[in-house]
Each structure stands twice: as structure tokens, then as C-alpha cells.
A and B are shown apart, each in its own frame.
Chain A
Amino acid sequence: MDVSMVKWIPWISLLSAAICGVLCFRRAWGVWAAPVTITAIAASFVVAMLAAPSGLLRDDDGRIADALGKSPHDIGQTVKAIDWINLNERDALMDDGSPPATLEEARGLADQHQSARIIESGEAGYSVRVPGLSANFSYYIDPLTLLMLFVVCGIGSLVAIYGAGYMKGDKGYARFFAAVSIFIFAMTSMVMGDNLVLLFLGWEMVGLASYLLIGYYFKKPSAAAAARKAFIVNRIGDLGFALGIFLTYMRYDTVVISEVLAMATSPEHVADWRDYWIPFLLMLGALGKSAQIPLYVWLPDAMEGPTPVSALIHAATMVTSGVYMIARLHPLFENSPYALPTVATIGGVTAFFAATIATSQFDLKKIYAYSTVSQLGYMFLGVGMGVRYAIFGGLFHLLTHAFFKALLFLTSGNVMHGTHGQLDIRKLSGLRHLMPFTCWLMLAGCLSLAAFPLTAGFFSKDAILVGVFEQGLAETDPNRWYVVLGVLGLVTAFLTPFYAFRAWFRVFMGPEKYEMGTEAHGDEEEHAHPSGADSHLIDEDHHAHDDKPHEASWLMLAPLFVLALGALFVGIIGYKPVKELVEGSTAVISTGKESLISADLNLTLIIQIASGIIATLGILTAAYFHWLNRQAGQNLADRLAGPIRVLENKYWVDEIYDLAIVKPLRLLGWIFQLVDTLLVGGLVKLFGWLPRLLGQLARPSQSGVLHGYGLSMLAGVALLVLLILLAAR
């Protein structure tokens, strides 16, 4: 399939969104929304996997060529779908109407035009670009795009299949799938966009889909509040991102990513103050979207949305946008001496900080939410390095995390589904016989999250840590700060298996005990629905509290098996291909190939053994306190009541934000309102009364509005004509 086919990928989903929108009209039509959406996303996946690889640059033996030192124009292909914004930007031509053939000609031509610049374009020679603004629906396909498309469309179709079962009988079935389709449209536009404006548009639209889906149960006040919180927190980050894009445009006169990167990595490029600030502004956007300190607070609340949404948007795909953006614009970050260390530090600290909170939460989905924040921190740590292996690790972790975290969320969705919304791990115990598949599937996810040796998470997390230590222990110019971050990463690597298995042992092991939730899944229609496979699993009285937790339907379990296979084996299967992909992408254009440490120090092996031991220790600790001897766990918890209270309350960050930011802003808002009513309101009244007043003066006996209007108009005209007379002198 030709690479130009990729231009259809986003539009397939948009079409599906439109169809689902129509299906919203009649409840009976709603059932068709799921097949339409699943087909669309799967079709996108197929197109992406068939078409995109043919556009990649390969070396002689068919492998993807290494990106080091190459031009972004060569590494990837630009495929234009449609014109969108195209202002004034054009290629200047020689007098005879031909493009310049030699560099001299191009230089001469560039001198004739204001702030024109010369672009070296592969085989075509040179072109002289006169600046303007050009941002089209045009897609840039490089190995990084391919990796992201694999994650977005691949995980997306699996989650959509699961959603078809999970949302069955819900009133807004079609509405749900319409929002999912919009999300896929936005997300694919974002990862494929060849310019920052399109990237930003996708970025905002995934946000929109996210709010729509967080607030899906909009009648629930907590869901509406969570949607608002996500909206507001993301606005802070996005303001930074927008300013960053603007500054990039000011600096490089273009928003086309490949051109920006080409200029930023060219040897003649001299960094100035704008280059120092661009990454920090862009970073703000990444911190908001990927829920890193200090903008992480929205993500745990976002779990108010339906569980498939938590899996797709708030674990596997959307929240990794920040990581993607940093990787995509890595050369820009390298141009500022402090940008990457900041990213790495924020990532490392967030990973640890969120992991500590996760160890003491009781809501299953909340645990995984904080775990997501923590794992995203790892990814930031990875892409925040100037070392190839770490960048690869960050992006590889993005892939493996997508598998195991989606699996974990969806299996906890099964638990929620089977227990009528009960997610409190204190109230569930020993469900392994009632929900056998869910139990073992979640175990696969937990093992991978815990980075148990040979699972997917093991390889990707170790790649990050190896990269961090490589930079920290570099032979020339070692930076001890990175050693600190690496150790912090290892400590987090202990906390991770602990909280993951704490939840798993609590819910599935030990004596069988449960308290059903109060939330019936779906509504009345579910009973009437003649479901084949799962009818025996649904009790007659769905609302009764005394029925048993039940296993999910096969429609919901089937995609989970695929995810579980991925969570266990992607590390082994995917290691080589992903490494090839990352090393052929724009993320490593200017990152050296050679290792920073001496060859006789086998860092990889040391870290792998260390982290394998740490992971096992973490699992064993959790097993002892939360399975084998729960009383001991309780005793320990009582002794540590103080610190645990701090963790249970999530360090009171929400409260601190409320006190430090929300309250003062409220006060400010109140002051503004006062000013508004007194000053602006007064002015407006004056405006409103002026014509009346004039009218009254002219003809006191009548209401005078019309006369007043007429007089005001004439006065205005007289003034402006006077202006002409004066100006013409």
C-alpha cells in the first residue's frame, strides 16, 4: 500500500463519529454504533500498518535507517491531505520562473526577499521559502509516527471491542462511541500532524473528547466536577503550549515540524534566548496533558469516566501525548541546556511521588490512576535524557505501558461490572473463583507493571534506568544528579510491585468475601436484552445486593487476552523492532550512537538483575502483608498511621491547591466582579443613556430615543468628516 494512503487514517474515524452522531437519534439504532466504531478504528490500524512502513527511509539491508545526522525531510515523508491555513507562504522563483538550482542562486534569491530562508530539500535541490503561515492537514510519517499509530489504533480497537460489551444497555451507547471516534480522529491527527498548529488542534480535541467522556455520566455531580477540573488544569498547560508554538513560529518563521527540526539541528544554528524558552513553554503543555507534577491532580479524578475510557484515554494513549510531543521535538529541547534535565527531574520525582500515594489508596481505579501518573513519570525520565537508550526506553515504555495499563483498567472494569461498582479493595476479597479469567488476566497486567523479569514492563523500565545511569556515570562529564534520579527510579521500582500486588492479593486472594456495590450496571434494558453468551451470568434481579460477583462476557474478555499476551511478551518480541523504530525517528537526530560509559561495565545486566530482585522483593512484601498475613499488614499500618494518613490524603495537594490558588482566585474574581458592576456597568449605562439624554435635550417633551439616536449618529458623522478634513490638510 502506498504511503499516501495514511492521509485517510484520521478521516475514517471522523466519518465513524458522524455516523455514530446520527445513530444517537434513535435508541434502537444505537447498537450499530459499536460495530461502526470498531470497524473504523481497526481499518485505521490496518491502513497504518500497511501503508506507513513503506514511507520509511531504509538502508541497504532493509532495516530502518539510523536517524543520526540526517535531515527530517529524509527520515520521514510528508503526505498532504487538504489545504487548511495557507497564508502568503510561498517558494520564491528565479526570474525565469524556475527554482534555484545551486546554493549560490538560492542565496542570491533569498537576499531579494525579506526574511526568506533557504531549504535544502532532498533530491529537488534548494528552495527559497518566503515566510508566511502554512498549516495544512498534512501528515508527517516517520518511525515515531508509526509507533504511535500502532499504539493508538491497536489499543484503541481492542478497547472499543471491550467497550461494546461494557457499555451494553447504557442509555448513551451511541454517544459513547461517537466520542471515542472523535477521540481517535483527534489523536491520530495529533500524532501524524506535520505542523505544530495541527498538533495543537489534535491536542485540544483529544482534550475535548476526554472532558466529554469524563463527564459522560454528567448527571453525577462528581463526574461533572472531575470534567471541569481536567478542563481547567489542562488550560494552564495548554496556555504554555500555545505560547511555545507562537515563540517557535517567531524563532523559525514556520510551524512545520520537519522544517523546524531541520533548522534547529543544522550546524549553523546559533541558539538564542528564544531557544532557551521554547522547550519550557512546550513542557508546560506536556506536564498538563501527561499529568506530571505540578499539574497531575486532574488525572485521578478523571476516573469518573466509564472504565474503557480510563483505559484508552487516561492510561494508554492521550496521557502519553506529552511524552510523544517531547520525543517529537527532542532537538528543540536539546537546544536549551536546562530543559531536558528539568523534564527528567520532574519525571523522576513524579514517578516516586505518585507511587507512594498509590500504595495507600483503597479504590482500585484510583490505585491504577496514580500508577499511571507514576509510570508516565518514568517515561518523562526516559525522554528527558540525552542518551539514545533512555529515549528508546521512554518510548518503549509508552508501548508496553499501553498494553499492561489498558489491561489493568479493563480488568478492574470487569470487577466493577461484576460487583455493581464496588471498587474498594477493603470490601473485596478472594474473588479468584468467581472471576477466574479476570483474576489471571489482571495478574498478567500486574506482573508487567511490577516489571517482573521477562515481562514487557521489565524490558522497557530497565531501558530507562540503564539510560539514566549511563548518563549519570558517563566517563566524560558525569552528572551525579542522574545517579540520584536513577536510584529514585529503583526505589519506585520497589513501590510499584508493592502497590500493584497489594491490590491484586486483596481482591483475588485470601478468603472469599465481598460487599456488592450499589450501582447497577446499565439500566432496565439489559434484562430485556436477549444476550446469548452472558445471559446465564446476569441474575434475574440485577439490583439486588445479595447476588454474587460474576465473570464478564466473552466480548469483554476476548480483547483482554490479546492485551495480556502483549503485556507479557511485547518486551521480548518488540524490543528489536521498537529500538529500530526509535533510532530511525526524529527524536534521535542529534543524539550520539556511542555509549557514554566504558564497554567493560555491563550496566544493562547489572540493572536487570537488580531490578529483577527488587521487583520480586516488592511482590513478596505485598504477598506477606496483604495475602498470607493480613493481620500483620494491619498491625504495621496501625503503627505507621501518621505517614499513611498523609498518603491516604494524597499529601493534601488538592487542599493546598485550593488554599493557595483557588481561594485567592475566587477573591480576585469577586473583586473583578465588583469592578465590573461598578465601573464597567456604570460606563455601559452611560453609553446607553447618552442617546436618550441627547434626545431629551433636543425635545424634552417626548421619550426622545429616536431623536437621540439620530442626533448621536449625526454627531458621530460630523466628527469623522471633520477628521477627514483635518487629515486631508
Chain B
Amino acid sequence: MTLMGEKLATIGPEMVLSVGALLCLFLGLARSARVRHATPLIAGVSLVLCIVGPMAWSAARPAAPGEIALVLGLAATPMAAFLKITIASIGLLLLLVSYRTPDQLPQNIEIERSGAAFDPGQTTRGEFFAFFLMSLAGAMLCAGADGLVWLFLALELTSLPTYIMLVTTRQSTLAREATVKYFFLGALAVAMFLYGFTLIYGATGVTQLYTTPVTEGLATVQSVVAEWRQEGQPLPLMLLVGMGLAILGISFKIAAVPMHLYTADVYQGATTPMTAFLAFVPKTAGFASLVLLLGTLGWPLPEPIAAMLWIMAVLTMTVGNVLGLMQTSVKRALAYSSIAHSGYMLVGLLAGSAAMEAGQPVVASGIAGILFYLVAYGVANLASFGVLGCLKRQGEEAETYQDISGLHHRHPWLAAIMLISLLSLIGLPPLVGFLGKIYLFAPAFFTGEPAMIWLVVIALINSAISAVYYLRIAAAIYFGQPSEEVERDEQTARMTGSGIAATAAVVLGLGAGALGLTDMLAKAADQPGKVLIQPADTDGDEAASEDRSNIPSATAGRN
């Protein structure tokens, strides 16, 4: 296989999604309304292909012993494979939750109702689904990134579509204001991590983060750092500052302090399904990038970076929960809780795979914790925002405590879905949030360092604080007086999506082990960036492939 071919083979799902996006873009402008309405279907099919394709492929062409099949790019790195499947699956649920969004826009309703001649300038349906897919593709690309340039482009591909989706899905000044804030502050953050990337390049002289078959034999950030560490040299300040700036810039995507300020305004301004999107996709991309970046340094992290992350984690969860406690709007409370959950995940990032020893089971690694928590938070977040999106008060989106008050009496199923997702967000067993928190905090606890144990204690206190506002929402739903003005929007798909997510929260909470998820995590978290692609002609160069799998270990330098 050619080098280009090998590289392309690692991004199969992204290519599928890009093709889907282009189709949506064009067909969204078709004359026939039927064709225009087929765009969500196309989006759905491309996402299903991303999940089913690799599975079918590997079933059709089983890997020879000792060889890991090149499965439509999914074998690029185990972490990327895990994240790509996660992103595609939760993306499918997000699509279910949001597929009616463009139809509800006044201008679209106007066009459909009047039957007037179709004016391409007035519709945004095609764009919505195209950008939806592109943003997901961007997140997937982040997960598989092996260099700084790739990472930068992938992060931007994740973010740029969201600005347009944000402003076109809601006709309200709130949405416009939110978009402006999101865009400008986002640009500021991009500038910051780009500067950080520059400094990293300056310090190490390379932009490649990890070795892949394509770049075999060349230096990478990882190998350079490993060499410095081996020689006992202190890491250059330029690298540390560069890493710091990169982390801070990417923190914008995960909504961590001090880059969290936009979160509540933007999440509130966005239409509710869009909020669910914003709370999951950029966050996943951000954490994938952070894991890959910090993976080059290796755990335990250098002291200055660890100190910074420690402070960020504490502030992020505390600010998120304390402010979440004070909100009168459910949507804002959930937005702040999204900040808090990023704080929890930073604990896993700090613990990293330091607690891993050879032969230890899976979940001793903070990276596995993050990957699992992305799933756990993803489903619970989707279910809660999905339920909120199903409710309308006089045509406006429901968002205050009064709007959901007494929901149980009017729509018991929506109430049950909301309750499950809230309990999962608190982290109560047997829901997935509980396992997620165990997997996140236990590795930090097992490192045995006082600072990490304190961090776990602070995180647990924060979980207790968060229970207050989550339970307040639950109390409003179950014990409040129902309001006549609030009605259910006829959104079967949205409710189904939330329902599936809530079911997943229960099923994964009980059966993550039984479903083999923990085994996948074990592989995924083993070594971020470790490439498992092996050449098809395995015979003859056993030694070469041996070499390759050893590359990320500290001994492999620039040889």
C-alpha cells in the first residue's frame, strides 16, 4: 500500500461522513421538497455506515493471527477506533434528537406552507445536516490525529460548523448574541492554542506527535521528549509554556476554567437539541486532543503542567457546580453542570495511565476513565437536553424550573427519562454515571499521591453539591404543580432518541463489563497514539512490526 493510501485508510469514517455532508449540501438545494427532506436520512445513513461498515469489513476479512486488520481506518489507533464508534453512535442519537430542528424554523415552515416557489436562499436544511456531519468528522479526526497540524485542522473542522449551526437553527436575538460570543471567544482560544503549538514546534523542532507507519523513523514530539527524559534533562520552558497554552486554548472546547465563560450564555442561546450537540461533540474533540497532546509528555506529567491542570480541575468543577446551584433556568443549570463534568474528566487526565502497570486490568487508567466518561456523560446529557427539547411553553422552548414543574403528571415517560439522566449525572448506581465516576476517580486515588487523593475528595464533595441542583430539577418534575401552558411538542424522534439514551444509561451502567466495553477501553487507553496498523505483508518482517509496536515506549528514540 502506498503511503498516501495508508494514511487515507486511517480516516475511512471521516471520508464517509464528508461524502454524506457534501450530498446533504447539494440535495438540500434540490427543487423537489421530497429530495430536500431526504437530507436527514442521508446523514443517518452515513452515520450508520460509520458504525456498521468497519464491523462488516472486519467480519468479511478476518485478521490473520498476530495481525490487526486494517478496518476502514478504525485500526488507526485503538483510542481513535473507540472514539470514532462512540462519536458515530452518539451522533446518531443526536441526529434523532435534532432532525426536526430545521423544519421548525419559521422560514422553513413558511416555505412549506405557502407552496411558493422554492428559494434556495431561504432554506438552511441542507446546511444543517452537512455541518452536523462535518463537525462529527472533525471530532473523529481529532481522535486519530498524529501531528500538530492535523490536530489544529481537525479542531477547527469541529468548531467552525457549530457557529453556523448555532445561528441558523434559532430565530432569536439570543441565538445571534450567543453565536457572536462563541465565535469571537472561540477565535481567541484558537489563537491561544495555535501559539502553543508554535512553541511546541519551536522547542522540539517537529510537528509530528506520534510515529505512524507513514512517518516511521522520523523524530516526533514524543520521541524527543522521551530522549530528554532519558538523558535526565529538564524539559525546556518553551515546551512547557507551549503545552500550557495549547491546553488552555483547547480548554475552550471542553469548557474548563478559565475558558468557560461563554458556556452558559451560548448553551442557553442555542436551540435545545443544538445545546446537546455543543455539550458533547466539541468536548469529545477537546478531550481527545488533550489526551493526545499530554500523551507525548507521558504520565506522571511534568510538575508545572500537573499543577496547572490540578488548579483547573478544582476550579472547573467547583465553579460549574456552585454556579449551577444558583440558576433559575434548567438549561443554564445543565450548562454549568457541563462545565463541572469537564472538571471531573480533568481528574482522569491528571491521573493518566500512571497507575498502569503491566498486566493490570483496564480501568486502572485515567485515560480509560475519560473515554468511558465521555460515553456516560454523552448519553445522560443527550437524554436530559432531549427531554427539555420536547417541551414548549407557548411556542417558546421550555427552560425554567416552572416550565418542567409537574412534568411527571402530564408526561410520565419524559419525566422518567429525565430522572434517569439526572441520577446518572449525579453518579448514582446502578447507572452509567456511577461507573463513569468510579473509572475516573479510582485511578487518581490509586496513584496514592496526596495531591491526587485530595483532588478525588474535592471531586466527591462537588458531586454532592451537584446532587442538590440535579435533585431540585427532579423534585420540580415529580412534586411540582403542572403548568397548563407547557405542552409537549410532537417530537416522536426526539423522545425516542432521549429514551434510547436513558436506556443506554441503565444498560451500560449494569453491563459495561458484560458488553465488552471495558475490554475495548483497556485497549483504547493502553497508550494514546500507539499505532496498531501493521503492514499487510506481515511475513518477512516480523522484526519490523515488533519494532513498531514498541515505538511509544521510552526507549525508542530517534533511531
Contact = CB atoms under 8 A, between A and B. Distances in A.
A224 B511 CA distance: 33
Contacts of B240: 724, 728
Interface stretch (B22-30, B61-69, B258-266): B258-266
B100 interface: no
Interface stretch (A485-493, A648-656, A707-715): A707-715
Contacts of A683: 322
Given A86-B518, A90-B361, A684-B322, A721 B241 contact: yes
A88 B308 contact: no
B467 to A, nearest CB: 13
B114 interface: no
Interface string A286-306: 000000000000000000000
Determine chain B's interface SS by DSSP, over half rule: helix
A723 B355 CA distance: 26
A706 interface: yes
A727 B185 contact: no
A69 interface: no
Interface string B513-540: 1100010000000000000000000000
Contacts of A713: 185, 188-189, 258-259, 261
Contacts of A90: 359-361
Interface stretch (B73-81, B156-164, B270-278, B299-307): B299-307
A613 interface: no
B248 A717 contact: yes
Interface in A652-695: 680-681, 683-684, 687-688, 691
A710 B360 contact: no
Given A86-B518, A133-B442, A710-B188, A715 B181 contact: no
Contacts of A132: 364, 446
A724 B244 contact: yes
A725 interface: yes
Nearest to B257: A716
B241 A86 contact: no
A87 B513 contact: no
A708 B122 CA distance: 35
A709 B263 CA distance: 11
B248 A88 contact: no
Interface stretch (A77-85, A266-274, A547-555): A77-85
A83 B514 contact: yes
Contact of B518 (A83, A688, A721, A725): A83
Nearest to B312: A720
Contact of B244 (A205, A687, A688, A721): A721
Of residues A88, A133, A706, which shows the largest number of chain B Cβ atoms within 10 Å of its Cβ? A88
B184 A706 contact: yes
B464 interface: no
The CB with the most chain A CB atoms within 10 A, among B192, B258, B303, B512, is that of B258
Nearest to B327: A684
A716 B311 CA distance: 11
A425 interface: no
A717 B308 contact: no
B166 interface: no
Interface in A80-113: 82-88, 90
A126 interface: no
Given A717-B248, A721-B241, A721-B244, A709 B307 contact: no
B361 A86 contact: yes
Given A717-B248, A720-B244, A87 B311 contact: no
A201 interface: yes
A710 B191 CA distance: 12
Interface in A539-563: none
A86 B303 CA distance: 30
B261 A725 contact: no
Contacts of B245: 717, 721
A3 interface: no
Q: Chain A contact residues (Cβ within 8 angstroms of B): what range? A: 35 or more
B322 A680 contact: yes
A710 B184 contact: yes
B326 interface: yes
B323 interface: yes
Interface in B212-265: 234, 237, 240-241, 244-245, 248, 257-259, 261-262, 265
Given A87-B442, A201-B429, A691-B261, A727 B188 contact: no
Contacts of A705: 181, 265
Given A137-B510, A723-B304, A88 B442 contact: yes
Interface in A177-222: 197, 201, 204-205
A728 B258 contact: no
Interface string B13-41: 00000000000000000000000000000
B63 to A, nearest CB: 25
A723 B241 CA distance: 10
A688 B510 CA distance: 40
Nearest to B519: A83
B438 interface: yes
A84 B513 contact: yes
Contact of A87 (B234, B261, B446): B446
Count chain B CB atoms within 10 A of each CB in A683, A688, A691, A727 and give the residue with the most.
A727
Interface in B153-180: 180
B181 A717 contact: no
B72 interface: no
A342 interface: no
Contact of B248 (A136, A710, A720): A720
Nearest to B429: A201
Nearest to B364: A88
Given A710-B184, A710-B185, A87 B258 contact: no
Interface string B476-512: 0000000000000000000000000000000000111
A590 to B, nearest CB: 32
Nearest to B517: A83
Nearest to A85: B438
B363 interface: yes
B442 A725 contact: no
B319 interface: yes
Contacts of B259: 713, 716-717
B261 A681 contact: no
B435 interface: yes
B53 interface: no
Interface in B387-429: 429
Contacts of A86: 361-363, 513, 518
Nearest to A714: B188
Given A86-B363, A706-B185, A720-B308, A725 B180 contact: no
A173 to B, nearest CB: 15
A706 B180 contact: yes
B181 A136 contact: no
A706 B262 CA distance: 9
B303 A727 contact: yes
A710 B259 CA distance: 9
A727 B435 CA distance: 35
A720 B312 CA distance: 9
Given A88-B446, A728-B304, A82 B180 contact: no
B430 interface: yes
Contacts of B192: 717
Nearest to A690: B261
Contacts of A204: 429
A727 B323 contact: no
Interface in A107-139: 132-133, 136-137
23 contacts: A83-B513, A85-B435, A87-B361, A87-B439, A90-B361, A204-B429, A684-B323, A691-B261, A706-B185, A709-B185, A714-B188, A716-B257, A716-B258, A717-B245, A717-B258, A721-B244, A724-B241, A724-B244, A724-B307, A725-B304, A727-B303, A727-B304, A728-B237
Given A725-B241, A727-B304, 8 more contacts: A88-B363, A132-B364, A681-B326, A684-B323, A687-B319, A710-B184, A712-B261, A727-B307
Leading 10 A-B pairs by shortest Cβ distance: A716-B258, A83-B513, A727-B304, A82-B514, A709-B261, A724-B304, A684-B326, A724-B244, A728-B304, A87-B442
